[in-house]
C-alpha cells in the first residue's frame, strides 16, 4: 500500500494528498503517517510547499470527519433507543439507561474527547460518529476537529520534511504507535465486554 500511496501523491500532488487523507478519515486502515510524512518529504523535491500541504491535508481530514459525523447523525440516539427497545436489545441485555449513560458521558466530556482523540490513530477517525450521534453543534465540531487535525498533520508533515529520505522510518515509528494503540483498545474492549457479560448474563443466570 505504501508504494501505491507514494506513486499517487507523486502523480497528483496536492489533489492526491487531499483525496488520500479524506479517504483515510473514512477508512482508518489507510495509513495517514505514510501520506503525511511522504508529503513533507516531497516539499523538498517538488513544487509542493509546506503550508499548502498542511492546509490541504487538514481540509481533507475535516471533510472526511464531516462524512462520519453525518453517519452519526443518522444513527441518532432516538433510533438507537428504538433498536434497544426491540429484540436486539433484549438479546444483548442492553437497556435504554445504558444508552442514556453513554450519551450523558459524551455530552459532558465530548468536546475535550473530540479534540484529544484526533491525536490517536484509528480513534481519530471514529470519534466523529458519536459526535454526530450526540449532536455536538456543527460549529464546535468543525472548530475542535480542525484544531486537532491541524496539529496532527503539521507534526507529521514537519517530521517528513526534517527526516528527508528517512521519512519512511518516521512513518514506521508512527505505525508502531498505531498498532500499539489498536492492541490497547482491543484489550480495553475485551475487558469491557467481559465485564458486561458477567454483569448482565452470568449474574442474571445465577439469580434464576
∠98-103-104 over CA atoms, to 5°? 100
Average of per-residue pLDDT across 39-51: 86
Confidence of residue 92 (pLDDT cuts 50, 70, 90): very low
Domain that holds residue 181: 2-207
Euclidean distance between CA atoms 174 and 54, whole angstroms: 18
Whether residue 56 is predicted with pLDDT greater than 50 in this model: the reply is: yes
Cell of 206: 445465577
Cell triple for residue 104?
A: 450523558
pLDDT at 51: 92
Can you give the pLDDT at residue 15? 93
Contacts for 146-149: CB closer than 8 Å, 24+ residues apart? 146/58, 146/62, 147/115, 148/114, 148/115, 148/116, 148/117, 148/118, 148/119, 148/124, 149/57, 149/58, 149/61, 149/62, 149/65, 149/118, 149/124
Q: How many C-beta neighbours within 10 Å does residue 70 have?
A: 12
Per-residue pLDDT reduced to its tens digit, 93-118: 555 555 566 566 666 777 788 888 88
What integer pLDDT is reported at residue 203 of this predicted model?
A: 52
Across the range 188-196, mean pLDDT stands at 69
pLDDT of residue 42: 85
Q: Which of 154, 167, 144 is nearest to 65 (CA)?
A: 144
Dist CA 29 CA 90 (whole Å): 33
* Residues 130-172 pLDDT 10s: 888 888 889 999 999 999 999 999 998 998 888 877 787 877 7
Contact 35, 9 (CB under 8 A): yes
What does the pLDDT average to over 13-41?
85
Tell me, what's the pLDDT at 108? 73
Number of folded domains in the chain?
1
Q: What is the dihedral of CA 169, 173, 175, 176, to 10 degrees?
A: 140
Which of 32-36, 83-87, 176-180 shows the lowest per-residue confidence on average (mean pLDDT)? 83-87
Which is higher by pLDDT, 17 or 124? 17
Amino acid at each position: 500500500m505504501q508504494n501505491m500511496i507514494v506513486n499517487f501523491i507523486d502523480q497528483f500532488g496536492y489533489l492526491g494528498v487531499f483525496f488520500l487523507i479524506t479517504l483515510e478519515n473514512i477508512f482508518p486502515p489507510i495509513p495517514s503517517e505514510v501520506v503525511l510524512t511522504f508529503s513533507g518529504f516531497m516539499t523538498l523535491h517538488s513544487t509542493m510547499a509546506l503550508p499548502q500541504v498542511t492546509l490541504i491535508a487538514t481540509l481533507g481530514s475535516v471533510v472526511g470527519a464531516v462524512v462520519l459525523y453525518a453517519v452519526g447523525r443518522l444513527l441518532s440516539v432516538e433510533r438507537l433507543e428504538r433498536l434497544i427497545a426491540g429484540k436486539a436489545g433484549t438479546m444483548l441485555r442492553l437497556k435504554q439507561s445504558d444508552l442514556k449513560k453513554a450519551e450523558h458521558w459524551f455530552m459532558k466530556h465530548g468536546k475535550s474527547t473530540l479534540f484529544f482523540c484526533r491525536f490517536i490513530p484509528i480513534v481519530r477517525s471514529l470519534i466523529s460518529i458519536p459526535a454526530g450521534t450526540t449532536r455536538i453543534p456543527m460549529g464546535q465540531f468543525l472548530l475542535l476537529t480542525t484544531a486537532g487535525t491541524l496539529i496532527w498533520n503539521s507534526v507529521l508533515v514537519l517530521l517528513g520534511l526534517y527526516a528527508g529520505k528517512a521519512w519512511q522510518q518516521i512513518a514506521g515509528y508512527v505505525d508502531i504507535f498505531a498498532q500499539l494503540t489498536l492492541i490497547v483498545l482491543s484489550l480495553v474492549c475485551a475487558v469491557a465486554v467481559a465485564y458486561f457479560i458477567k454483569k448482565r448474563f452470568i449474574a442474571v443466570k445465577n439469580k434464576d
